[in-house]
Amino acid sequence: MSQMPSRPRGLYFEEFSLGHKFVTAGRTVTEADVVSFAGLSGDFNQMHVDADYSAKGVFGQRVAHGLLVLSIVSGLAVQSGFMEGTVIAFREINEWKFSKPVFLGDTVHAIIEVTELKPMPRLGGGLARLSFSVRNQTDDVLMKGIWLVLVASQPSE
C-alpha cells in the first residue's frame, strides 16, 4: 500500500495574491523568554535583565530585546500556516523599525500583507514581499518592516 505525499500546509507562490493579509496568533513575552534570549545571544544589557536599573531608566521597567520579539514574530508567522513547508529561503529584512518598547507581559501579534510578487522560475518559485506590522494587546505598532521570502511553486503533477 503506497501513501500519497501530503501537501504542505503553506501556500505555494501561485496561491499568494497582492493585498492578502494574514493575522498571526498572539504570544505573551515572558521573563523566561528574556532570560533565555539573553543567555543565547549574550546580550545581558541591563535594560533587559536588571529590574532595579530599568525602573530608573527611560521606560520605567524592563523591556524585551527587539531581536527577541522579531524572532517570536518569525515563529508566529510560520505557525500561522501560510509559509509552513513552502518557504524555500528567507532572503531579506528591509526597512525594519523598532517603534515602541515591548514589556514583559505584552502580547504580540503580526499583521502581514503581501505587497509584491515576483516569479522566479529559475529558483523553483517566486519572491514574496511581505509587509509586517507587529502590535501589542492594545494594538500599538511596536515594530514594522518588510520581509522578502522565496516561496516554492506548486509542483507539476
What is the full DSSP assignment across 65-110?
Answer: -HHHHHHHHHHHHHHTSTTTTTEEEEEEEEEEEE-S--BTT-EEEE
Answer yes or no: is pLDDT of 24 > 60.
yes
Q: What is the amino acid identity at position 153?
A: S
For residues 7 and 57, give the distance between their C-alpha atoms in angstroms, rounded to a whole number. Answer: 50
User: What is the pTM for the complete model shown?
Assistant: 0.91
Cell 503580526, residue? Answer: 110
* CATH of span 13-152: 3.10.129.10
> Would you place residue 6 in the very low, low, confident or very high pLDDT band (cuts 50, 70, 90)?
confident
Q: pLDDT tens for residues 68-80?
A: 999 999 999 999 9
> Would you place residue 129 in the very low, low, confident or very high pLDDT band (cuts 50, 70, 90)?
very high
